[in-house]
Structure 1
Amino acid sequence: MDATTQVTPTFLTQHELSELLRLPERTLEDWRLTHTGPPYLKLGRHVRYDVQDVLVWVQEHRHG
């Protein structure tokens, strides 16, 4: 990939992320309230997660 290539971000809904991480949606809601979960975007009233941000967050929380 050269410097002029654009990478299109992929945004996930709360439901899609809960399925990906195999966690309840309520857990993601709690994490947003306590600022402990993956970074998210608020687009109007809609919450979206950039998949690249989520992958970085998951790696940062890896143990062992």
Structure 2
Amino acid sequence: MDHSDREPLWNIDRIAAYLDIPKWTLYGWRKKKYGPRAIRMGRHLRYDPADVIAWKEQQKDAEGLDVGN
């Protein structure tokens, strides 16, 4: 199976920058089982960019708002 065309997983800093929120917000959301799905790799969190983008679009649809990016 060739995954060379897939974007690498994002770390907490990358997703925080993409969503323009503090990374501590992401940690809080994770405790509340809210936000985009994360993958735990050892002690690190990683995010599939497709999941993050889909989650962001879902939030726009749910709120009827146009969120940046």
Q: If the length of structure 1 is used for normalisation, what is the TM-score? A: 0.83
Q: In structure 2, which of residues 51, 56, 66 is the aligned counterpart of residue 53 of structure 1? A: 51
Report the structure, 1 or 2, having the larger strand content. 1
Partner amino acid, structure 2, of 1:40: A
Cα shift readout 1:21-57 (whole Å, capped 9, x = no counterpart) = 1100110000110011100000111100100000110
Q: 1:18 aligned to 13, 16, 19, which one?
A: 16
Number of residue pairs matched by the alignment: 61
Structure 2: gaps (5+ residues): 65-69
Identity %: 30
RMSD: 1.8
CA displacement at 1:10 relative to structure 2 = 2.5
Select the residue among 21, 24, 39 that pairs with 1:41. 39
* Moved beyond 2 Å, runs of 4+: 4-7
Correspondence for 2:67: none
The residue type paired with residue 44 of structure 1 is G
After TM superposition, give the deviation of residue 5 of structure 1 in Å. Answer: 7.3
In structure 1, the gaps of 5 or more residues are: none
Q: Give the AA of the match of 1:30.
A: G
